[in-house]
Amino acid sequence: MAPPRCLCRPLLPVLALALLGLAAAAGPRQTPALELAQELAEELWSAGLPGDLPELEPECRSLLDAFAEGSAALTGCLGRRARPVRLCQGCHGQYRRLLAQYGSIARAVGNSSESHNCAKSILTSDRLQIVVTLSEFFNETWEAANCANCLKNNSEGLSNSTEEFLDLFNKSLTCFEHNLQGQGVDLSPNNYTEVCKNCNETYTKLNDLYNHLQRLNRQGGESAHSAHLCIDVEDAMNITRKLWSRTFNCSLPCSDTVPVIAVSSFILFLPIVFYLSSFLHSKQKKRILILPKRIQSNANLVNIQEKYS
């Protein structure tokens, strides 16, 4: 005959919940009896309440814990590098590890030879599907940031063009800072002349490289976000342009100035040429043919002879 303690064990969770509810309803004015009830409820909860049942297999639990740690690491990295935007260059390692962790879970799909199926238990066992939702969120964020355009094919590091751009970006900011040292806090527009003059070459190289990368990306990209570079490069260029044009009030000389002036001058002179040619053509039509006097006298003599003949 089974001991009575085993018959009462299914009632432990109900009793524990009832005691916890009673303690919570008492609020801050708990009597010693209610405090004792709360302690008893906590002991019953830890002893008899099946909180995590049905429990995952140890292998599946290990995969889930690894994915949870990877998600927390990637979330923290994205949050810390949200402003200024440094997502792609600072979080590609965490994102690559999270993809591998999710792949370890998903590879068990359809593998009936194993006694347990981690993919089915973790990914599709409930309506909410937390792991799948988290994975889709990270993938969509990474694709929207166009980080693939900044990384090498294997996503192990930044591409050469991105490193070159970031190097010029850092040099531009260093030049801005260096030419503002020793000046007052309240800077007038006249104080920015040194920045415009001394940093023009570095800024021009940075701007030209950015335009070149944009042209290459538009020619070779076919994805939905192909018209954009990665968010790190775009944000860095936006910051530099705002400092250059709005803060320092600098202007970048246009390299096509001579052709533009030549074409504009040609277009402006077209009406003058048109009216001049029209005037000369109309004058030519108005010319009067004047006969010489000798020809006129001979013509009169012929007319007189014909009259009296």
Across the range 154-158, mean pLDDT stands at: 81
Helix then strand then coil, in percent of the chain rounded to 5, is 70, 0, 30
Cα distance between residue 309 and residue 70, in whole Å: 129
Residues 96 and 209 in one domain: no
Could you tell me the pLDDT band of residue 267, with boundaries at 50, 70 and 90?
A: confident
Q: How many domains does the chain have?
A: 2
Residues 17 and 127 in one domain: yes
Residues 34 and 10 in one domain: yes
The chain-wide mean pLDDT, for the chain, equals 76
Residues 134 and 164 in one domain: no
Residues 19 and 136 in one domain: yes
Q: Is residue 297 part of a domain?
A: no
Residues 183 and 138 in one domain: no
Across the range 216-228, mean pLDDT stands at: 65
Domain of residue 60 covers 5-145
Instruction: Let me know the angle formed at the C-alpha of 134 by 132 and 140, rounded to the nearest 5 degrees.
Output: 100
Alpha-carbon dihedral sign for residues 85, 93, 77, 146: positive
| Nearby residues of 301 by Cβ (< 8 Å), 6 or more positions away | none
Residues 10 and 132 in one domain: yes
Summarize pLDDT for 103-142 with one digit per residue, the tens.
999 885 554 444 458 888 899 888 999 999 999 999 999 9
Residues 124 and 192 in one domain: no
Q: Is residue 186 part of a domain?
A: yes
Q: Is residue 65 part of a domain?
A: yes
Helix (H, G, I), strand (E, B) or coil at 151: strand
